Chain A
Amino acid sequence: MATLVTTVTETLRYRGKIGQWSWMFHRISGLATLLFLGLHIIDTSWAAFYPELYEEAIAIYQSPLYTIGEFFLVAGVIYHAYNGLRVFLLDYKPAWWKYQRRAATIVWAASIVTLIPTFIFMANHALEFYNEADEVAGLQQIIDVQAEFALGFVVIIAAALVLSALYGLITRSRSRFVLPGRAEGMMWSFTRLSGVLILPLVFGHLAMIHVIQGVFDITGGGLQIVGTSAVNVSGEAAEFVGARWDQLLIGVAIWRVYDAFLLILATVHGFNGLRYVVNDYFHRPVVNRALNWAIVFGTVALCALGIAALLAGVDETAYEIAQEMTAH
């Protein structure tokens, strides 16, 4: 933990070249995206299991605080994607190191070039919505809901700490959490290859849900739902999700397959990144083990939850429940 402070202050003081800044922004954007990914998987699973909660979650997404966050999220994802591609190429082609500084500059430039039209589209969606919106979720409501998530994270970490301390007492183990055998190298490759696979998936996802339709159109009654031939009759977020998951292309539920790949790849990629950060800065065996266990738990739990929601799907009963909830 002390080294975290050192690293933060000294990263600011050490005059590393652009590569050091790329690394820092890569970490920050990755951690921020993972935080949202965790919330987003839980939220979206509600469409299948608790439609009334899902409507509330989407109402919160459609509030100014989240809209600001959405701009940061999209910027972070795009930078992380481009810089990840740079790191991927330099890692697999070490001889290309000479181009790393130019590549880092290109990453910044490409991010900005991509973000300008993206932000224009997003801002249009936002202005259109806020000009007409009768009511948006209040700050208090947002804080209340997020406080529950925060509490959840705290409980998981606290439980992991207790278990890790007990484990330490029983086994007298004073070692950090270590992946077995060659797994560390495999995770290194997985992180790079999954990153490359996630890139087109996440860009498609961003294009559909943030640019073409926008978060505000999720509840657009009478609107055609992006990527489907269906129309959102009820105007409920649950129907938006359900119709997308039920869209068939040559007999395949195309968006369920798409979302399943994105879910698994992004979750494992993201939590592995978090594991790198944890292992860099948390050295005490009890803490290191606890955080790593929490990471393994988080990865498995979110993948399982997401897959369960994708398999369950969202049916018309859910639309009705959602509609009742919105009516109140």
Chain B
Amino acid sequence: MQVTMRIRRFNPEKDKKPYWGEYTLDNVEPNDRVLELLHRVKWEQDGTLSFRRSCAHGVCGSDGMRINGVNRLACKVLVNALGEGDHVKIQVEPMLGLQVLKDLIVDMEPFFEHYRSVMPYFVNNDPVPADGRERLQSAAARARFDDTTKCILCACCTTSCPSFWADGKYVGPAAIVQAHRFIFDDRDQAADERLKIMREPDGVWRCRTIFNCTSACPRDIEVTRAIGEVKMAIRRGGRGAIQETEGTEEAGGEG
């Protein structure tokens, strides 16, 4: 099949404004990935096309971009998911809400700044167990935050969020997912501190329950639900309430 790629181009050294570049590719297989098509454009037609990718297998989270209007990982979207027949049109743009550095590459620094602001690391100052081995946790307690361990920091959710488009100061869905991962970990001791960060004016209250983040997540994380659970933990008053915040029932299956 033939594919027309419409790609948002911008070179800060040459262009005043971004523009659309059009590239036609022949002999595309329906099960080619969009990333392969971007490679073909770069290798066969225009070597200046710039985009990030690293593992190319949906694990590293480098190639988040807006494909046919929705945030996706280029390495996880097949052409046949975007259209059928002899000719398919595919439109690729950089993610929204972060500054475009070149073509499809955006400045991820504000995103990672929000990520770091939620203390995304394990905090436990108790002495290690006497046998010197790991801190044990029940399967049910582990399952409580299993969903939010899956995040690969690709920024697809945060840059799909109208609240983040409106104001880049909003900490954003991805950072809240990371906070959730530690807040609901019963071995961690900094939940209250994280909840304090979350209830700041630029924290969870800027979420309007729109669900763009949930449908954008390439890892199928239940993002809006995680944000909702953090909101409930704050409203019900900190750590004690966390275990009561429901959510364990069906998550237990995998444990």
| Measured CA separation A127–B68 after assembly (Å) | 48
What are the residues of chain A within 8 A of B222 when measuring CB–CB? 97
Other-chain contact of B69, A4, A7, A13, A188 (Cβ < 8 Å): A13
Other-chain contact of B201, A3, A101, A179 (Cβ < 8 Å): A179
What are the residues of chain B within 8 A of A100 when measuring CB–CB? 211, 224
A11 touches B247 (CB 8 A): no
Closest to A176 in B: B201
Of the listed stretches B41-49, B111-119, B121-129, B158-166, chain A binds B158-166
Other-chain contact of B224, A15, A94, A178 (Cβ < 8 Å): A94
B224 touches A23 (CB 8 A): no
Closest chain-A Cβ to B196's Cβ sits at a distance in Å of 10
Quick one: which of B96, B163, B235 has the most chain A CB within 10 A?
B235
| Measured CA separation A281–B206 after assembly (Å) | 12
Other-chain contact of B165, A7, A95, A97, A185 (Cβ < 8 Å): A7
Closest to B224 in A: A97
Of the listed stretches A84-92, A201-209, A314-322, chain B binds A84-92
The answer to whether the Cβ of B225 comes within 8 Å of any Cβ in the partner chain is yes
Closest to A26 in B: B208
B165 touches A17 (CB 8 A): no
Dominant secondary structure of chain A at its interface with chain B: helix
A14 touches B209 (CB 8 A): no
What are the residues of chain B within 8 A of A281 when measuring CB–CB? 166-167
The answer to whether the Cβ of B20 comes within 8 Å of any Cβ in the partner chain is no
Other-chain contact of A184, B166, B201, B215, B232 (Cβ < 8 Å): B201
The answer to whether the Cβ of B246 comes within 8 Å of any Cβ in the partner chain is yes
The answer to whether the Cβ of B212 comes within 8 Å of any Cβ in the partner chain is yes
A188 touches B224 (CB 8 A): no
| Measured CA separation A179–B234 after assembly (Å) | 16
Give B192-226 interface residues, CB cut-off 8 Å to A.
199-201, 205-206, 208-212, 214-215, 222, 224-226
| Measured CA separation A283–B70 after assembly (Å) | 27
| Measured CA separation A3–B96 after assembly (Å) | 11
Closest chain-A Cβ to B131's Cβ sits at a distance in Å of 37
A280 touches B199 (CB 8 A): no
| Measured CA separation A277–B48 after assembly (Å) | 40
Other-chain contact of B235, A22, A97, A189 (Cβ < 8 Å): A189
What are the residues of chain B within 8 A of A172 when measuring CB–CB? none
Quick one: which of A6, A10, A13, A19 has the most chain B CB within 10 A?
A19
What are the residues of chain B within 8 A of A97 when measuring CB–CB? 211, 214, 222, 224-225, 228
| Measured CA separation A178–B199 after assembly (Å) | 12
Closest chain-A Cβ to B176's Cβ sits at a distance in Å of 12
The answer to whether the Cβ of A33 comes within 8 Å of any Cβ in the partner chain is no
Closest chain-B Cβ to A92's Cβ sits at a distance in Å of 7
A184 touches B199 (CB 8 A): yes
Quick one: which of B167, B206, B210, B232 has the most chain A CB within 10 A?
B210
Q: A19-B212, A23-B209 are in contact. List 10 more A-B contacts (CB 8 A).
A: A3-B167, A10-B96, A16-B70, A87-B208, A91-B209, A94-B225, A101-B211, A184-B201, A185-B235, A188-B205
- 9 shortest A-B CB distances, which residue pairs? A94-B228, A15-B69, A19-B211, A280-B166, A94-B225, A97-B225, A23-B210, A16-B212, A15-B70
A-B contact pairs, 13 of them (CB 8 A): A3-B165, A6-B96, A10-B165, A16-B160, A19-B209, A91-B228, A94-B229, A94-B232, A101-B211, A185-B235, A279-B167, A280-B166, A283-B167
Q: Which residues of B contact A (CB under 8 A)?
A: 66, 68-70, 96, 160, 162-163, 165-167, 169, 199-201, 205-206, 208-212, 214-215, 222, 224-229, 231-232, 234-235, 246-247, 249
